[in-house]
Amino acid sequence: MPDPDDSASATPSTSDTEVAPTAAHWRDFPWEEVTREVELDGKRIHLVDLDRVGDDRDVVVFLHGISASWRWFIEILPEVARTHRVIAIDLPGFGDSQFSRRQTSFTALAQAVAAVCAELSVDRATIVGHSMGSIVATRLAIDRPDLVERLVITGGPILSLTGLARNPIQTFLAQPRSVATLLAELLTIGVPLPARVTTMVASSPRLLKLALGPFLAHPEKLDPDLMEQVMSALGAPGSFPALLSTIGDDPGGDLHRISCPTKIIRGPLDPLSPPADVDRFLATVATSTAVEIPETGHWPHIEKPAEFLAELGQFLGETGRRPVAPARHQLVGRGPSSASVCSKGVTR
Question: What CATH number does the domain containing 130 carry?
Answer: 3.40.50.1820
Q: pTM for the complete prediction? A: 0.83
Q: How far apart are CA 237 and CA 191, in angstroms?
A: 10
**How sure is the predictor about 247, in pLDDT bands with cuts at 50, 70 and 90?**
low
Higher per-residue confidence, 26 vs 249:
26
Share of the chain above pLDDT 70, in %: 79
**How sure is the predictor about 332, in pLDDT bands with cuts at 50, 70 and 90?**
very low
Q: How far apart are CA 269 and CA 217, in angstroms?
A: 7
pLDDT value of position 345: 44
- For the cut 70, the answer to whether the pLDDT of residue 346 exceeds it is no
Which residues, including other chains, have CB under 8 Å from residue 337's CB and lie 6 or more apart? 15, 17, 19, 291, 293, 307, 308, 310, 311, 314, 331
Q: What residues does 153 pair with on adjacent strands?
A: 129, 264
**How sure is the predictor about 197, in pLDDT bands with cuts at 50, 70 and 90?**
confident
266's enclosing H/E stretch is strand 262-266
- For the cut 60, the answer to whether the pLDDT of residue 100 exceeds it is yes
pLDDT value of position 20: 33
Q: In the chain, how many domains are there?
A: 1
pLDDT value of position 182: 74
Which residues, including other chains, have CB under 8 Å from residue 149's CB and lie 6 or more apart? 124, 125, 126, 260, 319
pLDDT value of position 236: 77
DSSP-based three-state secondary structure for 18: strand
Higher per-residue confidence, 336 vs 213:
213
Decide if 345 is inside a domain.
no
- For the cut 70, the answer to whether the pLDDT of residue 344 exceeds it is no
**How sure is the predictor about 265, in pLDDT bands with cuts at 50, 70 and 90?**
very high
pLDDT value of position 187: 67
Which residues, including other chains, have CB under 8 Å from residue 261's CB and lie 6 or more apart? 150, 151, 287, 315, 318, 319
Tell me what the pLDDT averaged over the chain comes to: 82
pLDDT value of position 321: 53
Which of 75-84, 157-166, 187-196, 326-335: highest mean pLDDT? 75-84
Decide if 175 is inside a domain.
no
- For the cut 80, the answer to whether the pLDDT of residue 126 exceeds it is yes
To the nearest 10 degrees (0 to 180), the angle between helices 205-212 and 195-202 is 100
Mean pLDDT of 62-84: 93
User: Can you state the percent helix, strand and coil of the chain, rounding each to 5?
Assistant: 40, 15, 45
Decide if 188 is inside a domain.
no
Decide if 191 is inside a domain.
no
pLDDT value of position 333: 27
Decide if 289 is inside a domain.
yes
Q: How far apart are CA 289 and CA 271, in angstroms?
A: 20
Mean pLDDT of 83-92: 95
Determine if residue 261 is left, alpha or beta; phi over 0 gives left, psi from -120 to 50 gives alpha, anything else beta.
beta
Max CA separation in the chain (angstroms)? 53
Q: How far apart are CA 307 and CA 208, in angstroms?
A: 22
Which of 143-147, 227-231, 246-250: highest mean pLDDT? 143-147
- For the cut 70, the answer to whether the pLDDT of residue 323 exceeds it is no
* 15, 338 contact by CB (below 8 A): yes
Q: 244: domain range?
A: 18-169+236-332
**How sure is the predictor about 4, in pLDDT bands with cuts at 50, 70 and 90?**
low
